[in-house]
A = this chain, B = another copy of it.
Amino acid sequence: MNQRKKQPEQTRKVILDAADYEFSLQGYSGSGLNGIISRAGLTKGALFHHFPDKRALAKGWIEERLAPAIDALWITPLDVMDSLDFFRNFCRERFTGLQPDDAVSALSAVTAELAARDEVLGEALEDVFTTWRAAVAGLLERGKSSGWIHPSIQPANEAALIVAAFVGFSVTAQATRDPEIRRLAFTALDAYLETLRAQ
């Protein structure tokens, strides 16, 4: 009985895994439902039972795969940080680790592709950015309280810039073959992060 109850959940998981692979690599327009079904090893009926159309599947992917991946990369790790040097090292690791198919690149690509054109998916994507910015702003706010971030800093502003910069890095790095040139931008961001320090 338990076994049978679990099946729909397992099917949903398999569908979202396949959607994650396709949407992360090919974007929304570039991914076909047929490719996702074939990767999942399921029938169209099984897919439509869980997600009535491609948009519903993309919304499920954003909420149940993309958002948790951003959470794991950018939100949970901030909880334990207690110094600007820690945060700068963390940003350096996140920058060095950028890959064309990682969650930040997938989020950037799908937002660039459709956030302005699709209200439902745009709102789901906006939620991911709002949570990401709030986590960075929360860290900087704690830094102000603990005395390692300058009191004049406005955490919400800096968080919005830091998130935009990482989105921009994830895009421009894909067009830049030379890793040395990729690093230039991070060197400048790192110098900017240093300006947030309490004197």
Which A residues form the contact surface with B (CB < 8 A)?
A: 25-30, 100, 105, 108-109, 111-113, 115-117, 122, 125-126, 128-129, 154, 156-161, 163-172, 174-177, 181, 184-185, 187-189, 191-192, 195
Number of copies: 2
Interface of A is mostly: helix
Collect the chain B residues with CB atoms within 8 Å of residue A188's CB: 154, 157-158, 160-161
Q: How far is the CA of A189 from the CA of B30 in the complex (A)?
A: 34
Q: How far is the CA of A122 from the CA of B167 in the complex (A)?
A: 18
Collect the chain B residues with CB atoms within 8 Å of residue A29's CB: 26-27, 29-30
User: Nearest Cβ distance between residue A158 and chain B, in whole angstroms?
Assistant: 5
User: Nearest Cβ distance between residue A106 and chain B, in whole angstroms?
Assistant: 9
- Inter-chain contact B115/A112, CB cutoff 8 Å: no
